[in-house]
Every structure is written in C-alpha cells, then in structure tokens.
Amino acid sequence: DIQMTQSPSVLSASVGDRVTLNCKASQNINKYLNWYQQKLGEAPKLLIYNTNNLQTGIPSRFSGSGSGTDYTLTISSLQPEDVATYFCFQHNSWNTFGAGTKLELK
C-alpha cells in the first residue's frame, strides 16, 4: 500500500502569509494527487485534483504542484476562512489519504 506523509502536522500562520503544505508518497504516484480542505463538522471539500488542477469554485490563491513522490499545496495569501485541516489523497494505486495538516491562525 502507498503511504502518504503530510508535513507539518500543525501549521500556524498569519493572515496574508504565503503558506506551503507538503505531502510525500512512499512511491511514485504519477501526479494522481488531490488536496481536500475540511472544516470542523463538515465533509472534506476538493480543492485541487491531479496535482495542479483547481476545482471549480475554489479561489485562485490555492495552487498545487509536485511530481513523483513529493507534492505541495500553496495558499498565496492566507485568509481567515482558510483555517481548516488539509488532506492529501493519492489515487494512483488504490486510494490513500494523508493524516492531515491542521492550519491555524497565529
């Protein structure tokens, strides 16, 4: 099974900061990597699919990049409503989620 490791597990940042979240796969996942945002009490929300494709309706401050085993979600200018937990998800070989990065306001 492919393991997904997210870092950091908790990230504190200020409004307006550029924020980078990381996700590392235990083997090459060929860019089949999605990012989800989950707020308390809600279902996960798809932000980015297949590494760098912005889901419809998602603000352009969110972007994704990566290849092979290493992937990144970037928020160009953090907004208060971005406080949430972010999960990466690979669907190259079966389907596996990362453990999440909790994003807090400093």
Interacting residues with other proteins (CB under 8 A): 32, 34, 43-46, 49-50, 55-56, 87, 89, 91, 94-100
Cβ-contact 35, 88 below 8 angstroms: yes
Query: How many CA atoms within 13 Å lie on the side-chain side of 90?
Result: 28
Residue closer to other proteins by CB (options 62, 87) is 87
Q: Cβ of residue 41: shortest distance to other proteins, in angstroms? A: 9
CA 55, CA 87: separation in Å to the nearest integer? 15
Shortest Å, Cβ 30 to other proteins: 11
Closest approach of Cβ 105 to other proteins, in Å?
22
Which CB atom, from 76 or from 95, has the smaller least distance to other proteins?
95
* CA gap 82, 66 in Å, rounded: 21
Residue among 29 and 78 whose Cβ is closer to other proteins:
29
For residue 18, which amino acid is it?
Answer: R
C-alpha 74/C-alpha 86 separation (Å) is 11
